[in-house]
Amino acid sequence: MLFEKHWKKQVEYKPATENYIDYINGTTAGVIIGDRALKQLTNFDYVYDLATGWKEYTGLPFIFAAWVANKELPQDFVDRFNEANAVGMEHIEEIVAETPFPYYDLHKYYTENIHYHLDGRKLEGLEEFLSLIR
């Protein structure tokens, strides 16, 4: 969607092989996500962040992932889940110290790149995405 509507590029999509990152060069691009993307940040001349592209295109935040359920969950589960998340947030410094990752600043990742609350603007972004892919 971003290639076509925002960047105005026509591209040929191909299934990714297990080692597809090795073939990214010249006019061959690839979508890399997660830890692999962070490890590759300095390996390419051109890097496009999907969240930034979406924000430029719509002015809205993009939701890459969310905890969801297809049925109502027991309140004690929700409470324990929220408590576990809060404990993690309170210990980010320790988590970063115990998780060596030389490719990217994990403190920045956990405190600036990831947003933990699903607010109205994020819901607007989600609705816009769902509307565009319908």
23 CB neighbour count, 10 Å cutoff: 13
* Confidence band for 92, pLDDT divided at 50, 70 and 90: very high
DSSP 7-73: S-------PPPTTGGGG-BTTB-----HHHHHHHTTS-S----HHHHHHHHHSS---------SSPP
Q: What does pTM read for this prediction?
A: 0.81
Asked if residue 67 has pLDDT above 90, the reply is no
> What pLDDT digit, counting tens, does each position of 11-32 carry?
999 999 999 999 999 989 999 9
Average pLDDT over residues 65-76: 93
Average pLDDT over residues 25-44: 92
121 CB neighbour count, 10 Å cutoff: 12
Asked if residue 81 has pLDDT above 90, the reply is yes
The confidence score (pLDDT) of residue 116 equals 87
* Confidence band for 68, pLDDT divided at 50, 70 and 90: confident
Average pLDDT over residues 95-116: 94
Average pLDDT over residues 120-129: 95
71 CB neighbour count, 10 Å cutoff: 4
The confidence score (pLDDT) of residue 37 equals 93
Asked if residue 70 has pLDDT above 90, the reply is yes
Average pLDDT of the chain?
94
